[in-house]
A and B are shown apart, each in its own frame.
Chain A
Amino acid sequence: GENVEQHPSTLSVQEGDSAVIKCTYSDSASNYFPWYKQELGKGPQLIIDIRSNVGEKKDQRIAVTLNKTAKHFSLHITETQPEDSAVYFCAAKIPGGSQGNLIFGKGTKLSVKP
């Protein structure tokens, strides 16, 4: 079955720097890759997603890139702010599965220091 690996598990950056989180997946047929931000005591919030027919997608300070050949995708956050501090999860959708069949990475705890 699909397996998603996420790195690093923790990431500390200075305010204003960029942060990059990387994920790899095992099933080349996976076709949808969302990213979630989870703040302490809250549920995961969908922040950006990408489908397999697109190589890159941007939304203000956040971007996601997808390399289907290498089976990896990355989240890029530029000009980081303290409010970006949270746990970030990547996920891949199992092809042919229901909408809820997302396989999640283990998460990256991002700390942005003022």
Chain B
Amino acid sequence: SAVISQKPSRDICQRGTSLTIQCQVDSQVTMMFWYRQQPGQSLTLIATANQGSEATYESGFVIDKFPISRPNLTFSTLTVSNMSPEDSSIYLCSVGQATNEKLFFGSGTQLSVL
């Protein structure tokens, strides 16, 4: 499976600021997604990162709050904007190929908002 690198691995931020999380894959992948895992909770899909076009957001998530870029088949960014303590979570990048259903996850970004 692909090696998925996320940066930063963790950060502590002040409310009202924004943080951009990077996801780099060591090989081209068809699909890239962003998930959120709130403390002690399960995983929730935020959006599908589409190469060269706007991301597709799930219900409850909006572009103004979570802008996403995907300039090529190996890289994507997720920005958490105007942060509040409720945004404290682990944010996970995941990737897959269109040829099968398997989904692989990066190591995550642990975000704490004060």
Contact = CB atoms under 8 A, between A and B. Distances in A.
Interface string B32-57: 01010000011111001000000010
Contacts, number: 60
Interface in B12-68: 31, 33, 35, 41-45, 48, 56
B43 A100 contact: no
A98 B104 CA distance: 14
A43 B105 contact: yes
Contacts of B42: 89, 104-107
Interface string A20-59: 0000000000001010100001111110010100000000
A102 B45 contact: yes
A49 B42 CA distance: 18
Contacts of A46: 1, 102-105
B96 A100 contact: yes
A98 B48 contact: yes
A104 B108 CA distance: 17
Interface size class of A (residues with CB under 8 A): 20 to 34
Interface of B is mostly: strand
Contact of A100 (B1, B48, B108): B48
A18 B1 CA distance: 28
A99 B31 contact: yes
A43 B92 contact: yes
25 contacts: A32-B101, A34-B103, A41-B110, A43-B92, A43-B107, A44-B43, A46-B1, A46-B104, A49-B101, A89-B42, A98-B31, A98-B56, A99-B96, A99-B98, A99-B101, A100-B35, A100-B45, A100-B94, A101-B45, A102-B45, A104-B42, A104-B43, A104-B44, A107-B41, A107-B42
